[in-house]
Amino acid sequence: MKDEKKIIELILAGRTAYYGILVERYQNPVFRVIFRIVSQYDDARELTQDVFVKAYESLNQYNPDYRFFSWIYRIAINRALRYIRSRKPYVPLEKIPQREGIATEDASFDFKTREGLVNEAVSALKEQYKTVVLLKYYADLSYEEIAQVLEIPEKTVKSRLFDARMLLKDKLSKNLQYVD
């Protein structure tokens, strides 16, 4: 955290190139969170770029008492959720799981089907559960870090994650039997 505080001080002093360090450090966890929300690679890539540019433009609003990642993830989740709310519903054909006539020899098709089912299951979660799942598994944050991002007690993070797992268990075990 100390090095990030120093990096941000340098950026705000005009040493813009240092921002590249933060982008490199967080681009993939941020991308994975956004990708699981929007489910389209190109859109997720563009949104990830957008998030980092917006974060740079708002850097003087950032409170250095909090860790940079908690701020960037909050921007990323809000941006991605806003994007899908404004987007017309669209489900690519390859993401619709088919229950009959599956070519089981085709592993890539099975992966897409599984990915579609995971996406469907996670997307169907209420926002409070979806965000903890995304931050725990896709951003790989600890309970303490998730609590910082969402500004809720750690106990609440655990409770929501436990509830999310129970909800996902029902959805995934019911549907994945068709894939396996």
Sites of contact with another protein (CB under 8 A): 16-17, 19-20, 23-24, 27-28, 31-32, 35-36, 41, 44-45, 48-49, 52-54, 56-58, 60-61, 63, 78, 82, 85-86, 111, 114-115, 118, 122, 133, 137-138, 140, 158, 161-162, 165-166, 168-169, 172-173, 176
Structure tokens at 21: 């360090």
Place of tokens 């770029």: 49
- Output the smallest distance, CB 113 to another protein, in A: 12
User: Measured from the CB atom, is 162 or 178 closer to another protein?
Assistant: 162
- Output the smallest distance, CB 105 to another protein, in A: 19
- Output the smallest distance, CB 112 to another protein, in A: 10
User: Measured from the CB atom, is 102 or 154 closer to another protein?
Assistant: 154
The closest alpha carbon to 53, from 28, 29, 22, belongs to: 22
- Output the smallest distance, CB 99 to another protein, in A: 18
User: Measured from the CB atom, is 54 or 101 closer to another protein?
Assistant: 54
User: Measured from the CB atom, is 82 or 126 closer to another protein?
Assistant: 82
Contacts of 38 (CB under 8 A, 6+ apart): 44, 47, 80, 83, 84, 87
Rounded Cα–Cα distance for residues 16 and 177 (Å): 51
Helical ranges in 39-153 per DSSP H: 41-57, 68-86, 107-123, 127-133, 143-150
User: Measured from the CB atom, is 61 or 101 closer to another protein?
Assistant: 61
Long-range pairs for 93-96 at CB < 8 Å and ≥24 separation? 95/39, 95/119
